[in-house]
Amino acid sequence: TVIGILNGIDTNIWNPAKDDLIEGNYSVEDLSGKDKNRETLLIGYRLEAGPDIPVMGMVSRLVDQKGFDILAEGMDEIMKLDLRLVILGTGQEKFHKLYKKLQKKYPDKLGVKLEYDNRMAHLIEAGSDFFLMPSRYEPCGLNQMYSLSYGTIPIVRATGGLKDTVRNLTRGGRRGNGFIFSEYSKEALVDTITRAVDFFKDKEAVQRVRKRIMK
């Protein structure tokens, strides 16, 4: 028998209650610090968003494996939704050029930092409402686990360790811990992001899910 063993995360480093790289610490008992991080994150990306507009974050290498091709293909449709998307990372030159272009096209909704910034990586986990990982393949993945511990709902493709750690949320968020799609296509990605944006309208459900996934 062959079994896969999931990676673990260092909860001394990735822990919103004692993370000294974020703007405001928070825990299951008191989530108010998450809003402070969201505010700082948006300022860092020169974006504005009221409490009813979800912020989606990505911290990733900009390479084919991580789904940046289908994300770019679906960007026109994604940007029609009421959301903000922030991206941090470096990678293939073709994606650097493409995402710089997309940011110029959607300056009020899309924030892109083509760099390595550890503090910003922590701030994205803490300040985002959703974390996006549309990977083509992912042996395990760590960011979806960081996201869960920060009460940031993951949106992932059903592959490798993402499939092993994320379960689709039911209506009202009583069960599950994120949003997951199977087909590697812009249509499936756009549809899943749309579901997440709709889910965000139910503030009680969002809070319920945040507290549960943090545990």
Cβ pair 176, 168 in contact under 8 A: yes
Instruction: Compute the distance between CA of residue 12 and CA of residue 59 in angstroms, rounded to an integer.
Output: 20
pLDDT the model gives residue 6: 87
Task: Report pLDDT for 171.
Answer: 83
DSSP-assigned letter for residue 169: P
Q: What angle do CA 120, 64, 117 make, to 5 degrees?
A: 15
Convert the pLDDT of each residue in 125-156 to its tens digit.
Answer: 999 999 999 999 999 999 999 999 999 999 99
According to DSSP, residue 83 is labeled: -
Confidence of residue 2 (pLDDT cuts 50, 70, 90): confident
Q: Is the Cβ–Cβ distance between 55 and 125 less than 8 Å?
A: no
* The predicted structure's pLDDT at residue 181: 98
Residue type, 52: D
Q: Which two tokens stand for residue 63?
A: 């390479």
pLDDT at 69 over 80: yes
State the average pLDDT for the chain. 97
Q: Which residue has the tokens 């703007």?
A: 23
Residues 118, 140: contact at Cβ < 8 Å? no
Q: How confident is the model at residue 50 (pLDDT cuts 50, 70, 90)?
A: very high
Predicted local confidence at residue 164, as pLDDT = 94
Q: What predicted TM-score, i.e. pTM, was given to this entire model?
A: 0.97
pLDDT at 124 over 80: yes
Whole-angstrom distance, CA of residue 200 vs CA of residue 84? 13
* CA dist., res. 64 & res. 215, Å (int): 33
Looking at residue 64, its pLDDT comes to 93
Nearest to 150, CA basis, from 6, 62, 54, 22: 22
Give the residue from 141, 115, 208 showing the smallest Cα distance to 170. 208
Backbone angles phi, psi at 2, to 5 degrees: -110, 125
| Beta sheet of 84-88, edge-to-edge order | 110-113, 84-88, 55-59, 130-133, 153-157, 179-181
pLDDT per position as a tens digit, 77-121: 999 999 999 999 999 999 999 999 999 999 999 999 999 999 999
What's residue 4's pLDDT?
A: 77
Residue 168 has pLDDT above 80, yes or no: yes
Which element (helix H / strand E) includes 153?
strand 153-157
